[in-house]
Amino acid sequence: MKIFGHRGASGYAPQNTISSVRLALDQGSDGVEIDVQLTKDNEVVVCHDWIIDNVSDGKGKVSDFALVEIKKNDFGSYFLEDFKGEKIPTLSEVLEFFPKDIILNIELKIKGKSRDLVAEKVADLLLFHERIENTIVSSFNHSSLKKIKKLIPEIKIAFLYKRCISTINKDISDFGMDIYSIHINAKCANKEIIKEIHNHNKKVYVWNSNDIETTKKLYDMEADGIMTDFPIDMKNALWKY
Ligand code: G3P
Ligand code: CA
């Protein structure tokens, strides 16, 4: 079962920062998940929240800042003083150092009109950085995935689900394009749903598992991977399990 650092190793470092991504890599993660969205000047930045109030010393919506302005905020010290001065990363900055042999899961955060634009901008960056092979693009917004798949037919895409809904089988059949993996909420994970998704020949990645007991249960259920804020702990838990 693959272990993905969720927003990097966000249990130990400020989420979605370069430090967090680097730490997830250092902790031996098989993959790293990050969230991306657009700034006012349509730069792709790595950030989960729509507003920066809880993840920086600044205030306001990501989409109201130009890149040069949002870069002035400190995205580290809210978490721990040791990370003071940490800047919001662009996707490009992550792609510059991210190893080619580790899976990068980019979650497209979509709001309103930005739907196609986010997909287009991410596609441009993946092509520019030649970062297609070990990348999975996921989203709760399945139509954005259609957009990126049209732009890069060989890209791996993943449906994200928050709720435990019964339409997964139908969604897969109706989509009309190849989906690589289905990312389900840990609350919804059970042997049956994982088997059903496997019957469609899709991987099942489960978000999030932050405790050892849940991780072991998901392993027993034959999940293909988990997202976790604590990659090293989950790696250790599965060692010799
Ligand atoms: O990719 C799975 C998970 O990250 C989705 O939830 O809110 O942490 O982006 P969230
Ligand atoms: Ca995410």
What range does the domain containing 192 cover? 2-238
Find the mean pLDDT for residues 85-105.
Answer: 98
The reported pLDDT for the residue numbered 179 is 98
For residue 33, the ligand 1 atom closest to its alpha carbon is 1
Q: Pick the residue with more confidence: 117 or 113?
A: 117
Instruction: Supply the pLDDT for residue 229.
Output: 98
Query: What are phi and psi for residue 119, nearest 5 degrees?
Result: -60, -40
Task: Tell me what percent of the residues of the chain surpass a pLDDT of 70.
Answer: 100
Residue 146 has pLDDT above 90, yes or no: yes
Q: What is the rounded average pLDDT of the residues 39-63?
A: 97
Residue 107 is encoded by which pair of tokens? 């979650």
Angle, CA of 79, 218 and 162, to the nearest 5°: 60
- 45-49, 123-127, 162-166, 232-236: lowest mean pLDDT where? 162-166
Q: Which of 95, 76, 81, 101 is nearest to 15 (CA)?
A: 76
Query: Domain of 46: which CATH number?
Result: 3.20.20.190
Q: Is 226 in the pocket of ligand 1 (CB under 6 A)?
A: no
Query: What local confidence, expressed as pLDDT, does residue 45 receive?
Result: 98
Distance from residue 126's CA to the centre of ligand 1 (Å)? 21
* pLDDT on residue 166: 84
User: What span, in angstroms and rounded, lies between the C-alpha atoms of 19 and 168?
Assistant: 35
- The three-state secondary structure class of 94 is helix
Share of the chain above pLDDT 90, in %: 95
- pLDDT single digits (tens) 161-195: 999 988 898 999 999 999 999 999 999 999 999 99
Q: Report in angstroms the alpha-carbon separations of 42 from 92, 117, 163, 179, 218.
A: 13, 8, 30, 27, 38
**Per-residue confidence (pLDDT) for residue 114, from 0 to 100:** 75
pLDDT in tens, 56-86: 999 999 999 999 999 999 999 999 999 999 9
Q: At what angle do helices 231-238 and 212-220 cross, to 10 degrees?
A: 50
**Which residue has a Cα nearest atom 10 of ligand 1?**
48
183 touches ligand 1 (CB under 6 Å):
yes
- Neighbouring C-alpha atoms within 13 Å toward the C-beta of 34: 32
Tell me whether residue 111 is exposed, middle or buried, using C-beta atoms within 10 angstroms of its C-beta: 0 to 12, 13 to 18, 19 or more. middle
Q: Is the pLDDT of residue 113 over 80?
A: no
Q: Indicate the number of domains in the chain.
A: 1
Nearest ligand, measured from the Cα of 208: 1
Neighbouring-strand partners of residue 185: 207
Mean model confidence pLDDT for the chain: 97
Q: Check residue 165 and give its pLDDT.
A: 84
Q: Does 240 or 158 have the greater pLDDT score?
A: 158
Does the interface ipTM go beyond 0.90?
A: yes
Residues 6+ apart with CB under 8 A from 136: 31, 103, 104, 105, 106, 156, 157, 158, 180, 181
Nearest atom in ligand 1 to 107's CA = 1
